[in-house]
C-alpha cells in the first residue's frame, strides 16, 4: 500500500497558503524539485522528507495516510491499558509504504497508536538517507536491528559499518547519516520512540508566507525546529 507522498505534501502546502518558491527557499532546494516531488515525478530523500513535513507543520504519519493518534498519559494508560483501537495483526499487504529517493523504502509496521514507530527499512546498493551527504537530525530515540546486507552509519564524528545481527541505539537529535556502500540490499527493523509525541505537539505552520522567517534554512537536515525545545 504505497503512500501518495506528493499529493499529500501538495495538499498540506496549499492548505497553509504557501508557494512552491517559498518552501524551496526555506529548505534550500529548487522549486523544481518540490514540484517534481508533488507531482510524483521524483521522490524526496529521507532528510528532505523530514524537512518538508516539519516546514509544513505535518507529520510523517500524515504523509503515510495514517494520522497520528494521541498517546494517553500515564493515568489514562493505567485506566485503559488496551487503549489502542488498531487491529492486533497487520498483514504485509496492508503495510503503508514510503518509496524515497535513490532506493530507500520504509514500510510502516503494526502499532500506529502506540508510543513508537515500527518500520521495516530497506536501502538499495548506493542508497543514502541524504544524496547530498549531509547528516540529519530529528526528534526521537532510534533503536534498530539489521537483518541483512551491510549499512554504514555516520553518527557525529564516528562511522560504523553494521552487519546482519548488529543493532544500534541513539538519540536522533545527534547528526546522523545512513548509506549502503555494499552491493546487496540492506534491510532492518527500526523503532523510533518519541517522534510521534513531538509531532502531536508540533505547532501548525503559519497560514501565509509573510509570517515566516526570511532567513533560509542552512540545510535540509537542520530544519526540525521542534528539536530546539527538547
Number of domains in the chain: 2
If asked whether residues 97 and 174 sit together in one domain, one would say: yes
Q: Is 226 helix (H, G, I), strand (E, B) or coil?
A: helix
Query: Do 99 and 167 have their domain in common?
Result: yes
Cα separation, 38 vs 13, whole angstroms: 10
Q: Residue-wise pLDDT tens for the chain (230 aa)?
A: 455 788 889 999 999 899 999 999 988 888 998 999 999 888 888 888 878 887 888 877 777 776 554 444 444 444 444 445 667 888 998 888 888 877 999 998 887 666 777 899 999 999 999 877 888 887 789 999 999 999 999 999 999 999 999 999 999 889 999 999 999 999 999 998 876 454 444 333 333 343 333 333 333 333 333 333 33
User: Which residues neighbour 41 within 8 Å (Cβ) at sequence distance 6 or greater?
Assistant: none
Residue 104 counted as domain residue: yes
Give the structural domain span for 218.
5-66+197-229
Amino acid at each position: 500500500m504505497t503512500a501518495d507522498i506528493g499529493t499529500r505534501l501538495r495538499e498540506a502546502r496549499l492548505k497553509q497558503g504557501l508557494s512552491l518558491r517559498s518552501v524551496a527557499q526555506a529548505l534550500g532546494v529548487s522549486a523544481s524539485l518540490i514540484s517534481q516531488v508533488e507531482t510524483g515525478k521524483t521522490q524526496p530523500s529521507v532528510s528532505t522528507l523530514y524537512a518538508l513535513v516539519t516546514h509544513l507543520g505535518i507529520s510523517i504519519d500524515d504523509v503515510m495516510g495514517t494520522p497520528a493518534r494521541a498517546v494517553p498519559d500515564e493515568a489514562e494508560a493505567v485506566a485503559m491499558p488496551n487503549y489502542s483501537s488498531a487491529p492486533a495483526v497487520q498483514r504485509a499487504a496492508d503495510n503503508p509504504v514510503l518509496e524515497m529517493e535513490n532506493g530507500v523504502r520504509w514500510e510502516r509496521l503494526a502499532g500506529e497508536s502506540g508510543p513508537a514507530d515500527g518500520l521495516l527499512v530497506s536501502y538499495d546498493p548506493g542508497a543514502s538517507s541524504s544524496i547530498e551527504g549531509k547528516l540529519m537530525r530529528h526528534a526521537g530515540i532510534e533503536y534498530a536491528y539489521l537483518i541483512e546486507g551491510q549499512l554504514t552509519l555516520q553518527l557525529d564524528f564516528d562511522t560504523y559499518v553494521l552487519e546482519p545481527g548488529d543493532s544500534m541505539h541513539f538519540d536522533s537529535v545527534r547528526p546522523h547519516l545512513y548509506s549502503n556502500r555494499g552491493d546487496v540490499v540492506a534491510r532492518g527493523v527500526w523503532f523510533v520512540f518519541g517522534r510521534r509525541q513531538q509531532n502531536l505537539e508540533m505547532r501548525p505552520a503559519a497560514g501565509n508566507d509573510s509570517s515566516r522567517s526570511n532567513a533560509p534554512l542552512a540545510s535540509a537536515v537542520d530544519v526540525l525546529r521542534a528539536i530546539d525545545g527538547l
